[in-house]
Chain A
Amino acid sequence: MEFHHSPVSSVTRRDFLRTGAMGTALLATPCSLLAAVPKADVWVFHGTNNSSLMQACLKVIAANGGFGTSARSLAIKVNAAWARTPEEGANTHPDLVLGLVKGAREFGITSVDVPEHPCNRAEQSFTRSGILDAVKEGGGKMIDMKSSRELFSEVSIPKGQSLTSAKVSKHFLEADAIVNMPVAKHHRGATLTMAMKNWMGAVEDRGFWHRNDLHQCIADFSTFMKPTWTIIDATRIMMDRGPQGPAQTLKTPNLLILSKDQIAADAYAATLFHSNPRKVKYLALAEKMGLGVVDRAGMNIHSIEVPA
Chain B
Amino acid sequence: MKHHKLFHWIVRLVCLVGAVVLALGGPVPSLLARVLPGLSPLLVLAHSLAGRSWYVGLFWGLPPLAVLLAAVWKGRIFCRWVCPAGTLFATAAACKGRKRFMKVRLGGVVFWMIVAGAIIGFPLWISMDPLSSFNRLTPLFRGTYAAASLIPGLIVPIFLLLGVFQPFIWCFHFCPLGYLFDLCHFKAPKPVWKRDETRRHIVLGLALGVPLALAAKKLAPLAPSGPALKPILPPGAADPQSFASLCSRCYACVNVCPTRVIKVKMPLGKRLGQFFHPELDTERTYCEEHCNQCSQVCPAGAIRPLTLDQKRSRQIGRANVIKKACLAWEDGEHCMVCQEFCPYFAIEASESPAGIPRPVVKPEVCRGCGACQSECPAVRMGKAIIVEGIEKQGQAIDA
Contacts and interface: CB of A to CB of B under 8 A. Distances in A.
B290 interface: yes
Interface string B328-349: 0001011111011111010001
Contacts of A243: 340
B328 to A, nearest CB: 9
Contact of A206 (B327, B345, B377): B377
B288 interface: yes
A214 B334 contact: yes
A210 interface: yes
Contact of B335 (A121, A128, A187, A214): A214
Contact of A244 (B327, B331, B341, B377): B341
Contacts of A207: 337, 377, 379
Given A188-B339, A244-B341, A211 B290 contact: no
B335 A119 contact: no
Contacts of B375: 119
A121 B259 contact: yes
A120 interface: yes
Contacts of B259: 121
B25 interface: no
A174 interface: no
Nearest to A84: B343
Contact of A189 (B288, B334, B345): B334
Contacts of B335: 189, 210-211, 214
A124 B369 CA distance: 16
A128 B343 CA distance: 14
A83 B290 contact: yes
Contacts of A206: 337, 377
B336 A188 contact: yes
A188 B340 contact: yes
Nearest to A281: B334
B377 A188 contact: no
Among B340, B341, B375, the most chain A Cβ lie within 10 Å of the Cβ of B340
Given A189-B334, A214-B334, A214-B335, A124 B340 contact: no
A128 B290 contact: yes
A215 B334 contact: yes
Interface string B299-332: 0000000000000000000000000000100010
Nearest to B334: A214
A22 interface: no
A211 B377 contact: yes
Given A189-B334, A214-B334, A214-B335, A124 B345 contact: no
Contact of B339 (A119, A123, A189, A211): A189
B336 A211 contact: no
Nearest to B285: A121
A211 B343 CA distance: 22
Contacts of A187: 340
B288 A83 contact: yes
B277 to A, nearest CB: 25
A212 B340 CA distance: 18
Nearest to A209: B377
Given A83-B288, A121-B288, A213 B333 contact: yes
- The 7 A-B pairs of least Cβ separation, nearest first, read A207-B377, A189-B336, A210-B377, A210-B335, A214-B334, A189-B340, A188-B339
Interface of B: 258-259, 288-291, 327, 331, 333-337, 339-343, 345, 349, 357, 375, 377-379
Given A119-B341, A124-B290, 16 more contacts: A120-B288, A121-B258, A188-B339, A188-B349, A189-B339, A206-B337, A206-B377, A211-B327, A211-B335, A211-B379, A213-B333, A214-B333, A214-B335, A215-B334, A244-B343, A281-B334
6 contacts: A119-B375, A189-B336, A189-B340, A208-B377, A213-B333, A244-B340
